[in-house]
């Protein structure tokens, strides 16, 4: 059985730090089998960000949650120059994940979901869908997702 772990950012999240924090958590806890399945804007002014990830059943959710936010909180207070140096050391995967997070934050009404087609149909929900398994071929080096449009309706 797969379990879901939620990372909720009540304030506007920095996509670079979200991407870095999540990748670091994946690298440090491969046994948790972390995989982002969805992201959505939340809150009254849609400033919040909810990131949902699947985990292995035996994963310690409270420990993973705490480690993710320890990393996120530590990085968000770094001076910009130190943060840039740290992020420059990471690979291209961070840029792709950053672009995905940024697209969710910047789009007026987008819902990103990792959908595994197993012969059924996708249920109707509000917002646009992004297949996380295919996003690596769509993201450019400048941190934009091409060919997607938020509905702009709120």
Nearest in space to 20 (alpha carbons), one of 59, 80, 79, 75: 75
Q: How many domains does the chain have?
A: 1
Residue with tokens 């420059």: 88
Query: Is 153 a domain residue?
Result: no
**What is the reported pTM?**
0.60
Work out the pLDDT band at 54, boundaries 50, 70, 90: very high
In this model, does residue 70 exceed pLDDT 90?
Answer: yes
Q: Which domain holds residue 124?
A: 3-137
- Kindly state whether residue 61 falls inside one of the protein's structural domains: yes
Tell me if 67 is assigned to some domain: yes
d(C-alpha 23, C-alpha 19), whole Å: 6
User: Is 151 part of any domain?
Assistant: no
* pLDDT score, position 130: 43
CA 129 to CA 6: how far, in whole Å? 19
Q: What is the mean pLDDT of the chain?
A: 75
Give CA–CA dist 1/15, Å, rounded: 30
pLDDT for 91-105, tens place per residue?
556 677 777 778 777
> Cα dihedral angle (111, 62, 16, 37), rounded to 10 degrees?
-30
């Amino acid at each position: 059985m797969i379990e879901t772990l939620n990372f909720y950012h009540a304030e506007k999240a920095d996509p670079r730090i979200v991407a870095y924090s999540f990748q670091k958590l994946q690298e440090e806890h491969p046994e948790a089998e972390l995989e982002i399945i969805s992201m959505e804007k939340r809150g009254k002014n849609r400033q919040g960000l909810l990131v949902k990830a699947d985990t292995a059943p035996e994963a310690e959710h409270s420990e993973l949650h705490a480690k993710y936010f320890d990393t996120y909180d530590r990085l968000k207070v770094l001076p910009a120059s130190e943060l840039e140096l740290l992020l420059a050391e990471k690979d291209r995967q961070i840029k792709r994940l950053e672009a995905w997070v940024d697209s969710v934050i910047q789009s007026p009404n987008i819902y990103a979901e990792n959908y595994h087609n197993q012969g059924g149909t996708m249920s109707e929900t509000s917002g646009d869908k992004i297949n996380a398994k295919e996003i690596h071929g769509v993201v450019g080096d400048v941190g934009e997702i091409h060919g997607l449009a938020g509905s702009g309706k709120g």
